[in-house]
Amino acid sequence: MKVDQKGHTTIIKDTQNNVASFVQKVTNEYHVFQSQNLILDISNDKAFSIKDLAHFKDLAKNHKKAKKSLILVSDAVDFDKVPNYLNVVPSVLEAHDMIEMDEIERDLGF
């Protein structure tokens, strides 16, 4: 797990290609990241599938309650099949763009 912080956003990159252990590590360290927007980069895991998204459900819901963005980065899934509670984009640049849009929506009261 590699952590990089830029402003109000923390990028956490999965380095072991094991979704379950990655989610567990992020959940265990969540108190450190809870006040930040999160980009979870799982783009190196080519075995990642739509089924693996279920691991992120609780983490995504908790982060949304805190009025912060949680974006997954992976190009290995069919974006039309991603559940509504998750935001998945194919690149880190698009994740930053999504966070900017979320911040604007929150500032406008949506």
Distance, CA of 22 to CA of 15 (rounded, Å): 9
Whole-model pTM above 0.95? no
Among the listed residues 69, 4, 72, 71, the one whose alpha carbon sits nearest the alpha carbon of residue 44: 72
In three-state secondary structure terms, 63 is: helix
Q: What integer pLDDT is reported at residue 42 of this predicted model?
A: 95
CB atoms under 10 Å from CB of 74, counted, come to 24
Q: What integer pLDDT is reported at residue 110 of this predicted model?
A: 77
Distance, CA of 73 to CA of 89 (rounded, Å): 5
Q: What integer pLDDT is reported at residue 70 of this predicted model?
A: 97
Total domains present in the chain: 1
Q: What integer pLDDT is reported at residue 100 of this predicted model?
A: 96
Task: Specify whether the CB–CB gap between 59 and 38 falls below 8 A.
Answer: no
Largest CA-CA distance found in the chain, in angstroms, rounded:
39
Domain containing residue 76:
2-108
CATH number for 86: 3.30.750.24
